[in-house]
Amino acid sequence: MEKEINKFHALQLFTDTFAAETVHLTNNKIGIYIRLLCFAWTKNAKPFTTESAFRICQCTTNDCYIDVYEVLEEFFKVERECDDRNKKTWYHKRLLQEHEYLTDKYQRKSRAGKKGAEARYSANGNIIAPIPSPIPIPNNKYDVSFEELWKALHIRRGSKFKAFKLWQKLSPELPEDKKLINIYNSQIHGIEKKYVPHFTTWLSEKRWESDHNEYVEIPNLIERLKNLGYTYIGSEGNFEKFSKDGKNYRIDRFDEKHHIQLEQ
């Protein structure tokens, strides 16, 4: 059985990114952020509760509780929602990626070392049991954030594994996942599935940087128009279509002001 890597003592701090992301913070909040990063790293980047964050930051005043929670909301992602705010659990996306990367790296080095030792041992005429091959791929090869992103794509084409690796590599320059999903879904909306680019291709060509507007969700508007007597017909291309009093109307999905237009 392959030995599990339990802990990495060195935490890599990407100073350029860190400085850019925290330039607006007070010195107190920067200290809180660094302390939470260090704590999460010693726990193998596993999720921790709001209550634990308060305890780690030694909060005794309301101002401290507020600062810690604001840092959590800005830089950490919610792993599990809870009615009790203190029981809510958090994880750090970049920290989790770095931990998974290092775990994979050291496990590969360990396997290579074992194979080298096996070869040297066999060269001396000794017989040892071979290392099983292939080594089973762990079930948790994708992190939580990517799984949620992948499921939210309206059309999923291409290799999920390749997309995951590229997503990890480009992570520092990508917009937040929700925005990335909206941009991708808006750009493929109305396109026949066979012409939709693989998600890996879309990422590698940095198509999220195009001028195409983000997809605008308008379910609440549809309900309001129904209450005003409009009949919902359905989607066609980039438009939601309605009818009323024998006339047809449409709303552009990418118009943030949601103008309803009479069809000619």
Percent of the chain's residues with pLDDT above 70: 78
pTM: 0.42
Give 154's DSSP letter.
S
What is the pLDDT of the chain when averaged over all its residues?
A: 79
pLDDT score recorded for residue 123? 61
pLDDT tens-place string over residues 30-68: 999 999 988 888 888 888 999 999 999 999 898 999 999
Tell me how far apart the alpha carbons of residues 133 and 118 are, in angstroms, rounded to a whole number: 14
Lowest-pLDDT range of 30-34, 58-62, 119-123, 148-152: 119-123
Tell me the two tokens of residue 59: 């909060």
Q: What are the domain boundaries of the chain?
A: 9-140, 142-215, 219-262
Q: Could you tell me the sign of the dihedral formed by the alpha carbons of 68, 74, 78, 82, in that order? A: positive
Q: What is the CATH topology of the domain spanning 9-140?
A: Arc Repressor Mutant, subunit A (1.10.10)
Strand 77-80 with 247-252, pairing: unpaired
Tell me how far apart the alpha carbons of residues 95 and 65 are, in angstroms, rounded to a whole number: 23
142: confidence class by pLDDT, cuts 50, 70, 90: confident
pLDDT score recorded for residue 207? 84
pLDDT score recorded for residue 133? 55
Contact 231, 244 (CB under 8 A): yes
On the 0-12 / 13-18 / 19+ scale of CB atoms within 10 A, 50 is buried
Q: Starting from the edge strand earliest in sequence, which strands make up the sheet with 77-80, in order?
A: 48-49, 89-91, 77-80
